[in-house]
Amino acid sequence: MTVGSLEGKTAFVSGASRGLGAGLASRFAEVGMRLVLCSRTPPVFDSGENVLARTLDVRDEDALEVLVGEAEKRFGAIDLWVNNAGVLDPIRPIRDVALDEFREHIDINLVGVFLGTRTYVRHLRRLGHGGVLINVSSGAAWHPYAGWGPYCAGKAGVERLTEVVAVEEAESGLRAHSVAPGVIDTAMQERIRASSPEDFPEVERFHELKREGGFNSPRFVADEFLAIAFDPERRPETVAFRLASEADSSP
Ligand SMILES: NC(=O)c1ccc[n+]([C@@H]2O[C@H](COP(=O)([O-])OP(=O)(O)OC[C@H]3O[C@@H](n4cnc5c(N)ncnc54)[C@H](OP(=O)(O)O)[C@@H]3O)[C@@H](O)[C@H]2O)c1
């Protein structure tokens, strides 16, 4: 897959104001893609010839529909859809998590992904087009981190939801994957490192990671996502998987 070969293709990225989402948007723009971006605070790029950017909450069903309607008119079919928006809080043992906090977390990290997924499936079916869905997961979908109850539960839910839609839409031209992107040094990692060992007993491991390096860069993750979506030779065999670490993948 050569850089610059994706001109005319369109990607949707949620959570595009900072962190991984902003990095995905930047790399996708660099390879010539048109972008549909959203987040609660303004996305990394303003709207322009090749960018449709909106401030919206992924829990807002109507706002998502309006955005996709606008995208359809401007760009036609969306080739790659990345449900990336996510939160980590509350970080503390389940016994200390309030019901409202749990509900709010699941509403963003799981219901938001459900809404994004459904919106994309309906969009593709309306246009009679195929496409690739990537739901951003986490190692927390597999590993029970003490202190991350809502996050682990939400990401595990994202994985199963993605597996179900992959089966449901197998004949319709949608390819769906949930991808754990590895550890990326974003605001979310700063939040993790700011946790107390009482709330998050494995916090020292994340301080160690910061000292020793070993993060995946957003650009590396973006290129992996592009390969998953557009390089027939890199098509993953499973719906749910984790990216290798960038350090291990370097020649
Ligand atoms: N960083 C890591 O090491 C790591 C590892 C595994 C998985 N992940 C996953 O990667 C994704 C991105 O994480 P990150 O590290 O880039 O986190 P981040 O720096 O905190 O960025 C999160 C993004 O999501 C957006 N967002 C949060 N809630 C939203 C909502 N309700 N509606 C719309 N946008 C919302 C935020 O924008 P606004 O605040 O402007 O809305 C922001 O753009 C998440 O799904 C996370 O779980 C990250």
Query: Which is the CATH superfamily of the domain at 10-181+217-236?
Result: NAD(P)-binding Rossmann-like Domain (3.40.50.720)
Query: Ligand 1 within 6 A of 195 CB?
Result: no
Percent over 70 (pLDDT), the chain: 98
Query: Is residue 151 flagged as an active site residue?
Result: yes
C-alpha dihedral over 153, 245, 242, 223, to 10 degrees?
110
CA torsion angle 136 142 148 150 (round to 10): 70
Confidence bin at 249 (pLDDT 50/70/90): confident
Task: Locate 222 and state its tokens.
Answer: 């973006």
What letter does residue 40 receive in the DSSP assignment? S
- The rounded Å distance from CA 225 to ligand 1 centre is 16
What's the confidence (pLDDT) of residue 5?
Answer: 79
Best probe residue, ligand 1, of 55, 186, 192, 205 (max atoms within 8 Å of C-beta) = 186
Closest ligand 1 atom to 187 CA: 19
- Average the pLDDT over 43-63 and give the result: 98
Domains of the chain, by residue range, sit at 10-181+217-236
pTM score of the predicted model = 0.98
pLDDT band at 36 (very low <50, low <70, confident <90, very high): very high
Asked if 103 contacts 33 with a C-beta cutoff of 8 angstroms, the reply is no
